[in-house]
Structure 1
Amino acid sequence: MIKRELYMSRIRPFIGTDLIKVMTGIRRCGKSVMLKLIQQELTESGINPKQFISINFEDMNYSHLQTAQALHDEISARASEIGGKVYLFFDEIQEVKDWEKCINSFRVSLDCDIYITGSNANLLSSELATYLGGRYVEFVIYPFSFKEFMELYHSITPDASIQQCFQKYLIVGGMPYLSNIRYADAPSKQYLQDLFNSVQLKDIMKRNKIRDIDLLERIIAYVIANVGTTFSASSLAKFLKNEKRTVSPETILNYIKYCCEAYLFYQVKREDLQGKQILSSNEKYYIADHGIREAIFGGNMRDINLILENIVYLELLRRGFDVTVGRNGNKEIDFVCNKQGEKIYVQVTYLLASQETIDREFGAYDRIKDNFPKYVVSLDEFDMSQNGIKHRNIRDFLLAKEWN
């Protein structure tokens, strides 16, 4: 079990406090493991595991606890038997109707430390979330980074070079469970297809009561095929019209929003760097895990430029950056990244194989006069840094402890 210190270092300051710790992210990205890691850390600090109450609401054994009242009665009874402080761990809490009422009641009436996970970005944005206003901290959990993947892959294939690890990562992605099937090609593909179907069915269709399944599937297929490419709802509506499906841009935007809420896609807005304003159209979307794209759509190696962008974007999110796509006159910068006053710019390309490509990628920064770090990231092995702009091999960029 990987320690996932990136997340533990953020969660650790809140362990033992009365704030509710909420972990969200796409289904099977490792949220349940985070609960186990927290339990492990508590045990090592001297807490008796008998004080833990842990429930996974996807387990049918707990289906009778999927209302706030039933869960409240059960936990209150168990906490009374344990006596003293209890540590509550609830996995996939969104399965419990009116869960916020119940969790807030525990916070008020019990001596407890609460940890919950969920697979929907709207977990805390419903009206009921006012019960928890200001009393929680949220952490988004992502699939494995390349560094985490390499650590596990080396435990299975010790002699694999960094290049071989990255080649595998390009295809299978970072979903944690794949290490249990030793990253074997056919089982990995089947697992990722099943995962995608589960997200589509449980977290998108059922949750949002979508009846037009064919339309949803077409929209998802289009976004997956065009990760990292700017497009508008109007252009997608025209595309679907050519496919004999008439649909409004508003409906398309709603369906994509549902996918983002389930953490299948991430929306990246465009920013005018000269006017310092967010542009209202033509966003980009990236997929939560590029291995899912390969399993259900294929073509990761054919579309490697887009996949490298996708990988870098998720790494920026893992490290806590707010990311936009930058427009600078008629030029575009892949990622403008901000974090608490820290700022970096990142251009991603496959290879700097021609002078034209070099001029385009480095030239994107021509009109940016600030002194924040500017990167061009590619698979090239040789350092081509120039004019104060840093060039990095993508593997080195992903494995670096920090960027400055």
Structure 2
Amino acid sequence: MIKRELYMSRIRPFIGSELIKVLTGLRRSGKSVMLDLIREELIASGISDKQFISLNFENMRNARLCTAEALRDEIQKQVSAITGKAYLFFDEIQEVDGWEKCVNSFRVEFDCDIYITGSNAKLLSGELATYLAGRYVEFIIYPFSFGELIELYQTIFPKTSRNDIFSKYLTIGGMPYLSNLRYADQPSQQYLQDLYNSVVLKDIVKRNNIRDVDLLERIIAYITANVGTAFSATSISKYLKSESRTVAPETILNYVKACEEAFLFYRVKRQDLQGKRILTINEKYFIADHGIREAVFGGNMKDINLILENIVFMELLRRGYKVTVGKTAAKEIDFVCEKQGQKLYVQVSYLLASEETIEREFGVYNSIRDNFPKYVISLDELDMSRNGIKHRNIRDFLLSPDWG
């Protein structure tokens, strides 16, 4: 188990505070492991393991506790036997009906420190905003970065070069459990297919009462095939019509939103950099883990440019950037990234194999007059930086601690 310090450094200041710590993200992205890491730190600081109460609500043994009343009675009984502060860990809390009231009650009634996880963005909407407004802090947990994969992969295969690990990363992605399979191709593919089915059935179909599963799967297939490509609900509607399925764009938007709420896809808006406004058409979508794309739909190496873009986008999210696609005149910048008043521009390409390609990728910055860092990222080993624009090999970029 690696320490995932990127997340621990963000969570650590809130450990022991009265704020409820909410960990969200794609199913099996490592939220439960983060709870274990938090417990380890608490025990190392002198907290007795007798002060912990941990429940996973996807475990059938806890099915009887999946109502607010039953859970409250059980926790009240267990807390009464604890001396000092109680540390409450609730995994996949969305399985508990009325959990918001229940958790808020614990916060008020008991001397406790609360941590919850969930695999749906709806966890932080609706009633939660009413009951817990201003009383929680959210951390989104993503699949492994390239750097995290190297750290874990080399504990299993110590002599593997980072270049070889990156080649593996392009096809299997970064789901944490793959280390238990020693990253073997066939078992990893089977696991990722099963994970995909679990996300679709449990976190999308079941939670949204979707009846037309075939339509949902067609929409997911379309988005997955077109990651990093601008399109609209109308585009999907026309595509489905060509497959003899007539579907209103509004229905498509609802299905896509359900996929976003399950953290399967991330939507990226387009920004007019000259008019300084957000555009409302032809947004882009990226998949949470490109390994799922390869296992279920294939084509990662055929669509290598899109996959590299997907990998860079997810790394930007991990590091806390707000990301849009930049439009300037007839050109587009892959990523305009903002964090704490600072900006970063990133253009992603497979290989800068010709002067025409070099001019195209670097030329997108011609109309950008500010002094924020501008990058062109590719698989090329040779540094082709020019005119103040930095060129980086994608492996170096992903592993760099600072992009300033």
Matches within 5 A, 1:3-402: 3-402=3-402
Q: In the alignment, residue 367 of structure 1 is paired with which amino acid?
A: S
Post-superposition Cα deviations, 1:190-239, rounded to whole Å, max 9, x if no partner, equal 00000000000000001000001110010000000000000011111011
Asked whether the equivalents of residues 100 and 127 of structure 2 are also in contact (C-alpha less than 8 Å), the reply is no
* TM-score of the two chains, using structure 2 as the length reference: 0.99
What SS is found at the alignment partner of 1:337? Answer: strand
Q: Distance in 2 between matches of 1:82 and 1:400?
A: 45
What SS is found at the alignment partner of 1:267? Answer: strand
Q: In the alignment, residue 261 of structure 1 is paired with which amino acid?
A: E
What SS is found at the alignment partner of 1:281? Answer: strand
Q: Distance in 2 between matches of 1:257 and 1:403?
A: 32
Is there any run of 5+ residues in structure 1 with no aligned partner, and where? Answer: none
Q: Distance in 2 between matches of 1:262 and 1:256?
A: 10
What SS is found at the alignment partner of 1:338? Answer: strand
What SS is found at the alignment partner of 1:269? Answer: strand
Deviation (angstroms), 1:283: 0.4
Q: Distance in 1 between matches of 2:40 and 2:23?
A: 17
Deviation (angstroms), 1:128: 4.2
Q: In the alignment, residue 254 of structure 1 is paired with which amino acid?
A: N
What SS is found at the alignment partner of 2:346? Answer: strand
Q: Distance in 2 between matches of 1:170 and 1:155?
A: 19
What SS is found at the alignment partner of 2:384? Answer: coil
Asked whether the equivalents of residues 326 and 336 of structure 2 are also in contact (C-alpha less than 8 Å), the reply is yes
Q: In the alignment, residue 43 of structure 2 is paired with which amino acid?
A: T
Post-superposition Cα deviations, 1:118-163, rounded to whole Å, max 9, x if no partner, equal 0001101013431001000000000000000011111122111111
Q: In the alignment, residue 212 of structure 1 is paired with which amino acid?
A: D
Asked whether the equivalents of residues 347 and 375 of structure 1 are also in contact (C-alpha less than 8 Å), the reply is yes
Deviation (angstroms), 1:178: 0.1
Post-superposition Cα deviations, 1:69-114, rounded to whole Å, max 9, x if no partner, equal 1000000110001132100000000000010000000000000000
What SS is found at the alignment partner of 1:82? Answer: coil
Q: Distance in 2 between matches of 1:220 and 1:19?
A: 36
Asked whether the equivalents of residues 100 and 129 of structure 1 are also in contact (C-alpha less than 8 Å), the reply is no
Post-superposition Cα deviations, 1:24-61, rounded to whole Å, max 9, x if no partner, equal 00000000000000000000000001100000001000
Moved >2 Å (runs of 4+): none
What SS is found at the alignment partner of 1:81? Answer: coil
Q: In the alignment, residue 12 of structure 2 is paired with which amino acid?
A: R
Using the aligned pairs only, state the percent identity: 74
Q: Distance in 1 between matches of 2:121 and 2:347?
A: 28
Asked whether the equivalents of residues 21 and 138 of structure 1 are also in contact (C-alpha less than 8 Å), the reply is yes
Asked whether the equivalents of residues 335 and 346 of structure 2 are also in contact (C-alpha less than 8 Å), the reply is yes
RMSD, aligned CA? 0.6
Q: In the alignment, residue 76 of structure 1 is paired with which amino acid?
A: Q
Is there any run of 5+ residues in structure 2 with no aligned partner, and where? Answer: none
Asked whether the equivalents of residues 192 and 291 of structure 1 are also in contact (C-alpha less than 8 Å), the reply is yes
What SS is found at the alignment partner of 1:198? Answer: helix
What SS is found at the alignment partner of 2:148? Answer: helix
What SS is found at the alignment partner of 1:246? Answer: coil
* TM-score of the two chains, using structure 1 as the length reference: 0.99
